[in-house]
Amino acid sequence: MPSQEQWQLSGSAPELYERYAARYMLGPWAPGLVAQAHLKPGERVLDLACGTGLIARLVAPAVGVTGRVTGLDLNAGMLAVARALPAPPGAPITWVQGSALAMGFPDASFEVVLCQQGLQFFPDRPAAVREMHRVLVPGGRVALSVWSGVSPYHAAVGEALRQHVGAGAAASFSASRVVPDAGELRRLVVEAGFRDVAIEPCVMNVRLPAVEGFVLSHLAATPVASAVAAVDSRARAALAEHVGRALRGYVDGDGLTLPDEANVVTALA
Ligand SMILES: C[S@@+](CC[C@H](N)C(=O)[O-])C[C@H]1O[C@@H](n2cnc3c(N)ncnc32)[C@H](O)[C@@H]1O
């Protein structure tokens, strides 16, 4: 299986992921996903494909000291950053390295499974959704999100990568946006045994810093980091200029304001 399929980072990329991708791209969506779970004190919650633990750290205060939070991710570097960040108040968080396809938890281990922007990277999505169902108690809740379109930022960066780095890097970068649509999401969740399935399309304006400075830092936090580092500095500068030009219409003060879209799926086990 190609490594970009599972969105794997190496070297310093997980630290940069926390600083750039988690802060600016994923962070604004996290409170909305957590709110969909209607968490109660004392619940056991799994943050699946937790990355650097954005969702898990929001969940810990919501379920309180009697709750339990587990973050599971395939990537050791992401988990190392998660472990190094200050623990929030509330439930203790356990970080576990493992695959969404075979989680290793006993049946009925959690009241809630949350998964923000992970499903599209799982090489066997039906198996992963069946695992989510298996580890939930009967009546347990799942809330997961996947992007529902290619944002102007992703379109501009994908094209700039194609022109200045190569088609492989462009395809790898764009993999996060190759997602199941609403119909496929519903089918996946229903076929895994979930009921009361709801799919909510969500749109948000996301704020980014001045993009010519931001884009290369952001790319260093993605699976294309080494491909971008391998081209010469003129190509990197041209890439940043290309993105700046393409997104001129979104400049707002000292940064950019851009629309983005995601589908949020909720269901009961
Ligand atoms: C875009 S990041 C999202 C991280 C986090 N949920 C967030 O909101 O910041 C995708 C994550 O999925 C993880 N991942 C990819 N394939 C996986 C698998 N098969 N099992 C577990 N985690 C996986 C990657 O290691 C990465 O941390």
CATH number of the domain residue 99 falls in: 3.40.50.150
Q: Which amino acid is at 33?
A: L
pLDDT score for 4: 42
Q: Find the helix packing angle between 182-191 and 125-135, rounded to 10°.
A: 50
Average pLDDT over residues 18-38: 94
Average pLDDT over residues 79-101: 97
% the chain with pLDDT above 90: 88
Average pLDDT over residues 256-269: 97
What's the pLDDT band for 16 if we cut at 50, 70, 90?
A: confident
pLDDT score for 2: 41
Rounded to whole angstroms, how far apart are CA atoms 171 and 94? Answer: 34
Look at strands 195-209 and 251-252 and give their pairing.
unpaired
pLDDT of 148-197, one tens digit each? 989 999 999 999 999 999 999 999 999 889 899 999 999 999 999 999 99
Question: Which residue's CA is the closest to the ligand 1 atom numbered 15?
Answer: 6
Number of domains in the chain: 1
pLDDT score for 189: 98
Q: Which of 75, 93, 147, 177 to mutate to test ligand 1, by most ligand atoms within 8 A of the CB atom?
A: 75
Average pLDDT over residues 1-10: 60
Closest to 241 measured CA to CA, from 147, 163, 150, 144: 163
Atom of ligand 1 nearest to the CA of 100: 20
Rounded to whole angstroms, how far apart are CA atoms 253 and 255? Answer: 6
Closest to 186 measured CA to CA, from 122, 263, 102, 131: 263
Atom of ligand 1 nearest to the CA of 22: 9
**Distances from the Cα of 246 to the Cαs of 102, 143, 156, 158, 241, in angstroms?**
42, 34, 6, 11, 9
Q: Which of 4, 6, 116 to mutate to test ligand 1, by most ligand atoms within 8 A of the CB atom?
A: 6
Contact 144, 112 (CB under 8 A): no
Atom of ligand 1 nearest to the CA of 75: 25
pTM over cut 0.85: yes
pLDDT score for 9: 80
Q: Which of 46, 48, 50, 81 to mutate to test ligand 1, by most ligand atoms within 8 A of the CB atom?
A: 50
The three-state secondary structure class of 44 is: strand
239 C-alpha to ligand 1 centroid (Å) = 26
54 ligand 1 Cβ < 6 A: yes
73 ligand 1 Cβ < 6 A: yes
Structural domain harbouring 17? 3-268
